[in-house]
Amino acid sequence: MKLATRINSFLPVNNNNLEQVFNEFKKLGLNYVDLNFGEHTKLNPQEMRVLLEKNNLQLNGIALRFKDNYVNGDLGNLDPEIGRQAIQECKNACDYCREAGGKVITIWMAHDGFDYSFQINYLKVWKELIWAFQIIADYAPDLKISIEYKPYQPRAYAYIDSMGITGMMVKEINRENIGVTLDYCHMLMKHENPAFAADIFGAEKKLYGIHINDGYGVNDDGLMVGTASPFKTLEFLYYLRKHNYDGVFYFDTFPVIEGATDECQANIDMINRMDNLLEEVGLEKIAKIIDKNDAVEAQKLMLSFFKGES
């Protein structure tokens, strides 16, 4: 499996300790890295590529992090100049990603949303976002441009908030290199079943990224993989296997009391164990049970997972 984890979970990152973090990743057996644009990209792309190769790592992609003057909107900001700045940030991230050896640009629009009724022009923002993504996709047709959705936080309502809205947006943008990053916690917050989105976007070959973690559905908890909703996680992983997802599994978990290295190792152990369980039971057998549409048979399947029996 292609595995990556949060750089910021290990250390407050700057140029002086990136090498220390990457060395820790190497010891853990991780093989990919995602960088936050601006925050983790102080080194030039060539220097970054050398540092990654030194630690047997490869750049998966670049994640946009809109801050400072974007508090009232990112790509859909009311001020057209700020919106253009956001597009340029994405273009700059594309250039860096390509030169450093990455393939995926993940765009989470933290501030495109609203907090009050009568606050934004919904249709206007919709059209602005479509236009912005078309510009970005056309600028970098060789890269995968991936939309990461989240229902809320920091805004009370995020504009791109769900699998449905994201799917509509992908269709409207109408570019081959536009796809979706699924964050497991974000889907729980929206009261979505993560497996549902994995099946739909996986079938469309639009799954460009997976942020895997766990939580209780109210907050972006970032708990260790499989700790709060193990059966949902297994079903999620089943559909990723079914659709031959070959991208990176990014551990988007937030150790607070736990040591970052131990927590990451726990994630690695859990995702490997769950993957082995699916292999032991067999995808064909699981598919047959699903096709029965029988809750009792589904419960028996879950019991076999719990027992580790096929």
Which pLDDT score, from 0 to 100, does residue 307 have? Answer: 77
- Provide CB contacts within 8 A for 249, sequence distance 6+: 1, 2, 3, 4, 210, 212, 271
pLDDT tens across the length of the chain (310 residues): 999 999 999 976 454 589 999 999 999 999 999 999 999 999 999 999 999 999 999 999 999 999 989 999 999 999 999 999 999 999 999 999 999 999 999 999 999 999 999 999 999 999 999 999 999 999 999 999 999 999 999 999 999 999 999 999 999 999 999 999 999 999 999 999 999 999 999 999 999 999 999 999 999 999 999 999 999 999 999 999 999 999 999 999 999 999 999 999 999 999 999 999 999 999 999 999 999 999 999 999 999 998 765 4
- Burial (CB < 10 A; 0-12, 13-18, 19+), residue 123, is exposed
Which pLDDT score, from 0 to 100, does residue 15 have? Answer: 47
In angstroms, the Cα distances linking 246 to 2, 23, 43, 168, 202 are 8, 25, 28, 24, 11
- Provide CB contacts within 8 A for 72, sequence distance 6+: 78, 79, 82, 111
Under 8 Å between Cβ of 239 and 199: yes
Global pTM exceeds 0.85: yes
The Cα 139–Cα 136 span in angstroms is 5
The Cα 236–Cα 242 span in angstroms is 10
